[in-house]
Amino acid sequence: MSIRSILAPLVGSSEQQVLETAVALAARHGAWLDAMFLKTVRVIPGGSLGSAEVIALATQARAAAEELEEGCAAMRETLAALCRRHGLPLAGGASAEPAPAAAWSETAGPGALTRLGRTSDLVVLGRPADRDGRELAEALLRGSGRPVLVVPPEGGATAPYRRIAIAVNDSLEAARAMSAALPFLAAAQAVTILTAESARTEAAVAARAAVFLARHGVTAEVRVFPKDDEPPVGRALLGHCRQLDAELLVIGAYSHSRAHELLLGGVTSYMLACLDRPVLMAH
């Protein structure tokens, strides 16, 4: 798989790391980039409202809309500056340019992001900061059919990633994530397969993954750890990444049902809340 089309959803004015990552990837891979700013103002009234409350809500809505417009303008200026730095043309509208370029657009609903994600090779998203952000991340992962690169608000490396860790188990999602990572693995200097051995996942899964990667020209070290003797798998994976100084972690996303994630949590929910480095996820 090659990366030729990238979507970067922007959900606020603190998405510099998303744009830095997306522009760097677009320049490196010769890809088209669609940066789409989500313009949604949510004001939630409670109970029956008197005139004073209505006035207060209207004032709150105006302030939120003004803040959103300021954030939108700031992110657009950031995109322009990053495109100049990386030599990536910035088109005026949707990215239908004949040569790789970046394009800016705005949308009032997250549904447009999911639909556009389906015709992208990669989605670059910021680590969710609230419930709306988590819902957007889940919608993109479950609904776009594309890998999603989630980046922390600060401190994460940008492409190319030289040291990459891949979390491997026997799930369909992990297999898809590993295949989606191949364009990143081509530039890596060190690749480590991480497998939490359990009743559901044999250590042999890691060895098979290493053979698969070798057939794609990628040499990988295998590290198997017992699931029962470690902290929760998500925390254990991030801990191994710190030991390896991995700049990117690759994992399958939402291998459990929505009900399981809601009631018991899971690795994906943990990562979306706590990741401290870029994580490439695929469902």
User: Helices 131-143 & 110-117, crossing angle to 10 degrees?
Assistant: 30
Q: Please tell me the predicted confidence (pLDDT) of residue 258.
A: 55
Q: Check if the beta carbon of residue 89 is closer than 8 Å to that of residue 102.
A: yes
Q: Please tell me the predicted confidence (pLDDT) of residue 227.
A: 75
pTM, 2 dp: 0.89
Q: Please tell me the predicted confidence (pLDDT) of residue 78.
A: 96
Q: Please tell me the predicted confidence (pLDDT) of residue 206.
A: 94
User: How many other CB atoms are found less than 10 A from the CB of residue 150?
Assistant: 27
User: How many other CB atoms are found less than 10 A from the CB of residue 66?
Assistant: 11
Give ranges for CATH 3.40.50.620 in the chain: 5-151, 163-282
Three-class SS of the chain? CCCCEEEEEECCCCCHHHHHHHHHHHHHHCCEEEEEEECCCCCCCCCCCCHHHHHHHHHHHHHHHHHHHHHHHHHHHHHHHHHHHHCCCECCCCCCCCCCCEEEEEECCHHHHHHHHCCCCEEEEECCCCHHHHHHHHHHHHHCCCCEEEECCCCCCCCCCCEEEEECCCCHHHHHHHHHCHHHHCCCCEEEEEEEECCCCCCHHHHHHHHHHHCCCCCEEEEEEEHHHCCCHHHHHHHHHHHHCCCEEEEECCCCCHHHHHHHCCHHHHHHHHCCCCEEEEC
Q: Please tell me the predicted confidence (pLDDT) of residue 260.
A: 47
| Residues of the chain scoring pLDDT < 70 | 41-50, 54, 92-97, 228-231, 256-265
Relative to beta strand 248-252, strand 220-226 is unpaired
Q: Which of 261, 215, 208, 214 is nearest to 234 (CA)?
A: 261
Q: Please tell me the predicted confidence (pLDDT) of residue 12.
A: 81
Q: Please tell me the predicted confidence (pLDDT) of residue 90.
A: 93
Query: What phi, psi does 81 have (nearest 5°)?
Result: -65, -40
What is the rounded (10 degree) CA torsion for 250, 247, 120, 179?
-40
Query: What phi, psi does 213 have (nearest 5°)?
Result: -65, -40
Query: What phi, psi does 231 have (nearest 5°)?
Result: -65, 180
Q: Please tell me the predicted confidence (pLDDT) of residue 231.
A: 63
Rg of the chain, C-alpha, whole Å: 20
> Would you tell me which CATH number, out of the four given (3.40.50.620, 3.60.40.10, 3.40.309.10, 1.10.1040.10), belongs to the domain 5-151?
3.40.50.620
Q: Please tell me the predicted confidence (pLDDT) of residue 41.
A: 55
Query: What phi, psi does 80 have (nearest 5°)?
Result: -60, -45
Q: Please tell me the predicted confidence (pLDDT) of residue 138.
A: 95
Q: Please tell me the predicted confidence (pLDDT) of residue 135.
A: 93
Please determine, looking at this structure, whether the domain spanning 163-282 carries the CATH number 3.40.50.620. yes
